[in-house]
Amino acid sequence: MSEFKNGVILLDDSLSIQYIDDIAISVLDLSSDVLGKDINSFVKDDTFLELINQTKNTNLESSSEIYPDWSREKTLFVKIKPYKTKNEQGYMLVVTDLTSLRRLEGMQKEFVANVSHELRTPLTSIKMAAESLQLGAISDDRMKDKFLSNIQREADRLTRLVNELLVLANLDNKVTLHISSFNPGELLSDVVTVMRHHATLNDITLIDDFEEELPIMQADKDRIQQVIINLTDNAIKCNRQSGKVTLSAKPEGDFLTVKVIDTGIGIHKVDIDKIFDRFFRVDRSRSRVTGGTGLGLSIVKDIIVAHGGSINVESEVDVGTTFIIKLPFKNNTPQEQD
């Protein structure tokens, strides 16, 4: 545990505090005027006090990881050992705050569990389709086409998940953005061209509301295009029949404001703060198209933040949702220039 800062407390034989450093004061949420006072009067946690008494009774070192009663969100590692000099004897307490480490470990476990679940679903579908073909469905043209289509769809889903995980890994490692200068109006026009067929197939009208000539932007063009396509795709998939999606953009000072507006199912207020969390998905039964990974919006936010921008959401259930992106025209982050 050498990478963590350790707080130190020295107690005399009667358990009065003879020395305490600033780290221990902070970790144990104590005031600075505890010198000379009994530690039992300040540290209100049964496990902590049991460790002290155990060491006092056995004269042996004791240690334990505890969740203190005064702050159940904290995780502490406490080690207590007796010490003796020519003039005095007492006990040394070493306290280490493991809260951030345990929280990170919990997030990692949850992430692995979510990834495993997301991989298992398409793999199961592919396996079942392949087994059905082996058992004779391949001789029935209608069933053969159905199962082959299922395999293709689930393989695409796996590919999308793996690609999104790779993007997340790169962003977490603070991958260098490839900054170039470009006209965002042209980029938005390209997105509309790419997504229009997808919108038509889903009975959605895609509306462009921006000037093709906008101020030149310095950013990672591919990543920004990825953001706009992701949001537009979501707006199409989560829309109502014969709905509309509007992609608008306009300069506002040093920033470009981009809005993706849909007339779809909307997002409940309780979910709005969670939609950028990894693997979070709103009620899938409310979407006309399923199969998302729950990673897209997390990636969108990470890319926007990496560019020094912001993203916000306005939504009303059964009315629609608007994603509002603000991106600086000039990139001031120390990134690689193309």
Please report, in tens digits, the pLDDT of each residue of the chain (338 residues total): 446 789 999 999 888 999 999 999 888 888 878 888 888 887 878 888 888 888 988 989 999 998 887 777 788 999 999 988 878 889 999 999 998 888 878 777 777 776 776 677 678 888 888 988 888 888 888 888 888 988 887 887 788 777 777 776 666 555 567 899 999 999 999 999 888 888 998 899 999 999 989 999 999 998 898 899 889 988 998 899 899 999 999 999 999 999 999 998 888 888 888 888 766 666 544 444 444 556 778 888 888 998 999 999 999 888 999 999 999 998 765 555 44
Residues, the chain: 338
User: How far, in Å, CA of 289 to CA of 282, rounded?
Assistant: 12
User: How far, in Å, CA of 221 to CA of 183, rounded?
Assistant: 9
The answer, as to whether pTM is greater than 0.85, is no
For the chain, where are the E strands, in sequence order? 6-12, 17-20, 62-66, 76-84, 89-97, 178-182, 205-209, 217-219, 244-252, 255-262, 310-316, 320-328, 336-337
Type of residue found at 152: Q
Q: Calculate the CA dihedral of residues 246, 251, 253, 255 and round it to 10 degrees.
A: 70
- The token pair at 10 is 């020295």
DSSP character at residue 5: P
